[in-house]
Structure 1
Amino acid sequence: MNGNRISWKPNEQTAVANEVHRIWQRDPTVHIVAAVDQAQRMVLDADRHRNLRNARPNELRPWLDRELEQIKAIAERRAAADSLFSALPTAKDVVMLDDAAPSSSEPAAIEAPAIADAAATDEAVTDEPAPAPKARKTMTHWRDHEQRAIVEKALDLMERWPDIKLLEAFRKAQPLVIETERQRDLDTWARVSRWAEPLIELVKLDRQIAAAREHEERERIDRERAELAEREAAQQARRDAEAREREEQEAAAQRAFDERVEAEVQTRMHALPFESLIRTFAVKVAREAITAFSDELQSSIMSSVVTAATEAVQRADTTPTTDEASHLVVRPTNRLPRVGVVGLLNQQEQDIERAFKGRVSFVFVKSQHEGGNAHGGHGMLEKCRTCDLVISMTDHVGADVAASSKKLHVPFKEIGGKVSALKSWLNEWLDGGIALKAA
């Protein structure tokens, strides 16, 4: 028999689920497939075993959850019933109540003939045991609220598990909402179809009405929120308009005030004599002129002092001969000195320009190995003819630069080392500490 095609009956499903429940109570770590396989081997015949070798947990989980939920509900109702029955009086208590003395409300004495008749009757009773009464099994008829509770619970189960059948849903719902003594045997749908089918339609209709009311309530809330947002937006727009109106009014008031002030000033100026206006204007112009003359005079004096000090330092540090005096080259004082530098890289050129910004105007020429006619000695002859000074970085240029310097007719200086040496030499030259001989 192919175990994959076996479908368990409802009682077999319940038995297997009960056994799985007991297995998990002993060891909760057992895998669901292993637990179901072990349970079917313990409670079902061999020909009813299913092949669970390739079963997946997702296939067993919905069915097992339904069965375990029903088992849990039945256990809870049994516990509630046991607690209820344990509170009822026992048979011994009932006998003791029957044997108790009569109360004062009962007759005080019984007539003697009645007692005698009773005694005679007792003697006539035989010792044969009385036959046991036959137990009658009465049909349980569910009340209206019980029927509706079962239908609502069954519909809930069908919404939760769409693959469950209607009769199975009724079977699962019965122990969840009905007391044990009120439960019925639902072996066929015909037992409940007469009242269940119209009641199902009624419950569905009630739920649709409730859903529609809930939808209307949500729409009402949304409308109220939208109206509130619109009112707040309108209030904010009104506040903004009022603020703009106040600003315009304040601006108009300020313009009117300025116009009144201007008119008052013009009126007073027209009322003043012409001589007073001339005198006031002359005083103002004189004050501004004195301030401007003072600033220019102070600047001229400082410039003269600086120039005189620089020339004095140059005369003190350099002692040229009479023949060489006409050939000494110092930095120009009426403009920025123009200095050509041969052999620096781009980053070094930018560093030098930042360091002497506003003090020197540079012309940079790349070394010969950078390539091109505008580099090396040839580039120096083209670019540096109008320079006041040309400096060659001997560590980065070739022999062509020194050879071309003889044709340059511009003061030429060779400096070895890094950019710091160039900065130091230029600072000293700008301060007047070095005088170069003209080429």
Structure 2
Amino acid sequence: MKQVEVNFDGLVGPTHNYAGLSFGNVASLNNANAISSPKQAAKQGLSKMKALADMGLVQGVLAPQERPDIATLRRLGFTGSDATVLERAAKQSREVFLACCSASSMWTANAATVSPSADTADGRVHFTPANLTNKFHRSLEPEVTGRILKSTFADDKYFAHHTHLPDNEHFGDEGAANHTRLCSDYGHAGLELFVYGRHAFDSSKPQPTRYPARQTLEASQAIARLHGLDDDGVVYIQQNPDVIDQGVFHNDVIAVGNQNVLFFHEQAFHEKQRALDEIRAKFGDGDLHFVEVKTSDVSIQDAVTTYLFNTQIVTLPDGNMTIIAPTECRDNTAVSTYLDKLVTQSTPIKSVNYFDVKQSMRNGGGPACLRLRVALAEQEVKAVNPNTLINDAQFARLNAWVDKHYRDELTEDALRDPQLLTESRTALDELTQLLKLGSVYPFQQD
């Protein structure tokens, strides 16, 4: 059965700002409190989506969350009108207020884990939203994420939706950022790789000491059970605790896979050789390419700074693969030298395309953070909400929507402006009509 991989990118929300909320994410911390540009961020993301669609790929878009999150602020005891809630929260609990203004849902690699129909017991595409329990600002996302996914993939003949895992650190789940899939072809049964940072119930096992390990083995195992995956189609790999402590907060900052290629840094995995041997044994027949980057070529620091591995590897219609990289990779001598050499070697990766996504990069997310990968058969693509797929007309409509509703600049003080809340809700209400999502936001349901 012919399948394609569709990238669903997160549309950057109207409150895109730099609050430095993500401990363990070096870029996020380094750019805390800088002035952001929501309009530029959204347009950079849309430009990348349109470019991939122009390359002949199927490209989708996922809506952002409602922010500021007034409902959560009310749950936490802030009362009065919406304007009063904003003012009181900003004055009495700055950290909580900023968390409730975060636009982090733009990084849809954390939206969910997705298993294609070729891998699952019931032959449907399975979605489980990530609970993101490690960070308060991200833990606010799963419920609305689930609604958006159900509105995007609505036909239960083809799609199965699960509730996110229990909101507890023992089942900390970060979604597709710690999951990748290898296969000979998108339509054939693949090998799903679940990369975890720690064992939740066994503290004697290796774990980082400086920064948190956000994904647990137990969460990964639960996702595999929910999705009906066969044991022979799954490999569990522990992330190297040392690289987590160097700022590699998700596996997709140090490794990325596509079809028969696994592109990774030599320090990415704990017990690396055991993991690679198991991958090779379970992958079966067919060419499998391990593209391992040595520390002598690219340091961990350069990998984290440029997000070399937080790039997308996509298969073009001609069968060749290309890397979708941020311009930071091009501007770093060690990384650009490595990539220039890579495309001349005997792997399926034949080219690199560079994109300016600086607004996202400064907040801690590269091209791969911005997208959720969904392998779909032809009839499954037809069952997707067509208004969420990017074409010339929808790209133009979304660009005009951004121009109409987004601010050029945003400071921390502006986040408490009640007018920003009104602007954001007006924008999102119009967006749900553009994308035909129905009422997915709390303010619409209230």
TM-score (norm 1): 0.15
Of structures 1 and 2, the larger Rg is shown by 1
TM-score (norm 2): 0.15
Q: Which structure is richer in relative contact order (CA contacts within 8 A, separation 6 or more)?
A: 2
| Greater share of residues in strand | 2
